[in-house]
Amino acid sequence: MKLLHLTDIHLTTPGQTIAGRDSNANFEAAVAHALEHHPDAELMAITGDLSDWGDREDYERLRVLIERIPVPVALCIGNHDDRPTFLEVFPEYAGEGGFVQTVHETSAGRCLFLDTWGPETHEGHYCAARQAWLEGQLAASEGPVFLFMHHNPVPTHVAPLDEIRLKDDAAFRQIVARHRDKVRHIFFGHCHLPVTGSAGGVPVTSLRGTNHAGFANFPETALLTGSDLPPAYGVAFVADDYVTVHMVEFGHDGKLWAENAPDYASWNRATMVR
Q: What are the backbone angles phi and psi of residue 227, rounded to the nearest 5°? A: -155, 170
Residue 154 in domain? yes
Give residue 99's domain range. Answer: 2-266
- pLDDT at 273 (0 to 100): 59
Residue 112 in domain? yes
CATH of the domain at 63: 3.60.21.10
CA distance readout (Å), 195 to 75, 119, 177, 267: 20, 26, 20, 33
Please name which of 120, 205, 114 lies closest in space to residue 156, comparing C-alpha atoms: 205
Residue 37 in domain? yes
Q: State how far the Cα of 141 lies from the Cα of 251, in Å rounded to an integer.
A: 38
Residue 273 in domain? no
Please name which of 107, 164, 163, 99 lies closest in space to residue 131, comparing C-alpha atoms: 99
Residue 75 in domain? yes
Residue 191 in domain? yes
Structural domains counted in the chain = 1
Residue 271 in domain? no
- pLDDT at 150 (0 to 100): 98
Which residues of the chain carry a pLDDT beneath 50?
A: none
Tell me the β-bridge partners of 4.
44, 235
> For 204-219, how does the pLDDT look when each residue is reduced to its tens digit (9 = 90+)?
999 999 999 999 999 9
- pLDDT at 70 (0 to 100): 97
User: How many residues are listed for the chain in this entry?
Assistant: 274
Residue 272 in domain? no
Q: How many CB atoms lie within 10 A of CB 265?
A: 8
